[in-house]
Amino acid sequence: MAAAPRSPLAQLRKIALALPEAHEVEAWGAPTFRVKNKVFAMFAEEGNHHHDGRPGAWIKSAHVTQDMLVRAQPTHYFKPPYVGPKGWVGAFLDKNPDWEVVADLLRDAWMQTAPKKLVASLPSTEAPAKKVPPAPAAESSKRVVSRVKSAQAPKKLVARAKSAQAPKKRR
């Protein structure tokens, strides 16, 4: 007999807590995921008063990532209350979410939040380049562009995400 599918919180917890020094703290009546006690994601249970009562994760991200995901796939992503204006993206965790995208978003959120020394301690395939680290928007946008079909997203957003990926020239 096949194992029962994981609950959205259990799957989110498995991904978030696999990140170095990530830990869970209950705050505002909900599980939050932190690195060095700084929040990079939180879980919103179904039946809550936020966003139609569907289970979801609120994940720290860049504005361009949030904008692209919400416009391209509004049935899967949303702008969460309170933290949405700061660029955080909400991911609905019911109705077959793309856990690979959620994992990428969580990893990017962790990288934006963790101290630079901790981020640098990641294996070289995961850590950003040492000399010119990509901007958080560029790191997130790169994976989003590769996972979200550009035909679904407005052309301006795709162009903005691609330009964020280009390394900025230093003077």
Closest CA to 65 of 39, 47, 91, 44: 91
Token pair, residue 167, equals: 């390394």
Q: What is the CA radius of gyration of the chain?
A: 16
Contact, 107 vs 19, CB < 8 A?
yes
- What domains, with CATH codes, occur in the chain? 8-122+135-164 (3.90.1150.30)
Cα 113 from Cα 65, distance rounded (Å): 16
3-class state of residue 141 by DSSP: helix
Percentage, residues of the chain above pLDDT 70? 65
| Edge-to-edge strands, sheet with 56-59 | 22-27, 30-35, 38-44, 56-59, 89-92, 77-78
Residue 132: pLDDT over 50: no
Confidence (pLDDT) at 128? 47
The upper half-sphere exposure of residue 167, i.e. CA atoms within 13 Å in the direction of its Cβ, equals: 9
pLDDT in tens, 55-107: 999 999 999 999 999 999 999 999 998 898 899 999 999 989 999 999 999 99
Residue 82: burial class (beta carbons within 10 Å; 0-12, 13-18, 19+): exposed
Is it the case that residue 156 has pLDDT exceeding 60? Answer: no
Mean pLDDT for the chain? 79
pLDDT value at position 27? 87
pLDDT at residue number 123: 73
Q: Which two tokens stand for residue 78?
A: 């949303």
Helix axes 63-72, 155-165, angle to 10 degrees: 150
Structure tokens, 150: 């550009």
pLDDT reported for residue 124: 59
Question: What pLDDT score was predicted for residue 104?
Answer: 96
pLDDT tens column, 39-57: 999 998 876 655 567 899 9
Indicate if the pLDDT at residue 30 is higher than 80.
yes
